[in-house]
Amino acid sequence: MSSSSIRSSSSDGSIYDATANTLTDLRDNQVYRTTTIDIPSKSYSEVWMAENMNFETENSWCGGGSGMAEGDCSVYGRLYTWAASVGKTESECGYNHTCEFSGTVRGVCPEGWHLPSYDEWNELFTAVGGSNVAGKVLKSKSGWKSSSVIENTDGYLFTALPAGYRNFDGSFASVGDNAYFWSSMEYNIEEAHYVDLYYSTDYAYLRTYYKDGGISVRCLKD
């Protein structure tokens, strides 16, 4: 193991290689690209996953689906209910159940990583220029519905993909249109906060959605 690699001590740990910009999840040995977003002028330096989480749990499905058919996990990763994203059962943290946390929430993320909080998403948007341009610089250059208005730069190699979402009725929608990512912050017993990136705007939005919907997860290094 190189000196730039960090391995957790637990049996379901992870290996982070800062030279190769990779994260290996030892629960299933999947390897993810990572990106270090380092902006000294904003006193910001954090390591993010540059791919969507793809660890299979209960209440998770392959992203990129359409109609009642799942998509391709190898491209889009998985979509999780909010309870699954925070590592809890539906009876603990699902729709119509309150579930607030203090501190970081590992959730579905590998050991040594965590589900970003509402504040951590906002801090990222501020660091990359503000929520009015964050979508433009965080979205992947390809995979999105074409738009004459927007030209994504993927300037920080975050490479947000439009995996769409799974509705609570089991249908899939918005592949190519939207990238959605959960935060660890509950809004009320029905909804939690999430990030919304849309194909035709530069903006990055923090909104709320029903906890029993399925959306993507990006993890942030502890």
pTM assigned to the model: 0.93
- Which of these, 44, 19, 48, 45, lies nearest to 32 by C-alpha position? 48
What is the structure's pLDDT at 151?
Answer: 87
Look-up: residue for tokens 């190898």? 74
Hey, which residues does 114 pair with through a beta bridge?
220
pLDDT per residue of the chain (222 residues) written in tens, 0 to 9:
232 334 443 468 999 999 999 999 999 999 999 999 999 999 999 999 999 999 999 999 999 999 999 999 999 999 999 999 999 999 999 999 999 898 999 999 999 999 999 999 999 999 999 999 999 999 999 999 986 667 899 999 999 999 999 999 999 999 999 999 999 999 999 999 999 999 999 999 999 999 999 999 999 999
